[in-house]
């Protein structure tokens, strides 16, 4: 097993965590914050949009069974990378589309994937591609949020439909397939 990490932001980290947790080869998904200027930010601080942080997930995966490229293909298929600082009704810089690369190889792969998926969208991709500095894990109550709160309104209205679409498109890459 070859442990690797990816750090991605594409809107609410609850959505991303729920999706990436279902992929074969994913070992752990941790929601958190990245890309800002405040050390150890809280959810409330990040929600105020003045820390500079984005809601992120840090994905630990076995790169022998799931490539970084495949992770990015899922990433670009499960959020809208053409909307600046928003995903649906979630608005603010904390919901921006961003890839925090861990090394130059990840950067090159991300550039290639972004180039390949650009034609799938009517508008230009606005996903930021920046080096990872510090990842701050989110508070405990954000971890496994969707699975622990399936009847919560946001989970039913926003996350559940994304998961259905994801499962249909990537059924061959799911843990349960």
Q: Which residues are catalytic?
A: 12
CA distance 135 to 87: 21
Q: Determine contact, residues 110/101, Cβ cutoff 8 Å.
A: yes
Q: Determine contact, residues 32/9, Cβ cutoff 8 Å.
A: no
DSSP letter, residue 108: H
CA distance 113 to 15: 21
DSSP letter, residue 159: I
Tokens of 145: 């949020």
């Amino acid at each position: 097993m070859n442990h690797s990490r990816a750090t991605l932001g594409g809107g609410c980290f609850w959505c991303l965590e729920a999706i990436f947790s279902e992929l074969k080869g994913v070992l752990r998904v941790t929601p958190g914050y990245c890309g800002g200027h405040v050390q150890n930010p809280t959810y409330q601080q990040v929600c105020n949009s003045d820390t500079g942080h984005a809601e992120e997930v840090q994905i630990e995966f076995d790169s022998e069974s799931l490539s970084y490229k495949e992770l990015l293909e899922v990433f670009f298929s499960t959020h809208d990378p053409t909307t600046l600082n928003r995903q649906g009704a979630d608005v603010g810089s904390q919901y921006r589309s961003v890839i925090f690369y861990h090394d130059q190889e990840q950067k090159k792969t991300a550039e290639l994937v972004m180039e390949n998926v650009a034609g799938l969208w009517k508008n230009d991709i606005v996903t930021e591609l920046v080096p990872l500095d510090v990842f701050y894990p989110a508070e405990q109550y954000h971890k496994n949020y969707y699975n622990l709160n399936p009847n919560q309104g946001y989970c039913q209205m926003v996350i559940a439909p994304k998961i259905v679409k994801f499962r249909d498109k990537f059924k061959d890459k799911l843990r349960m397939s």
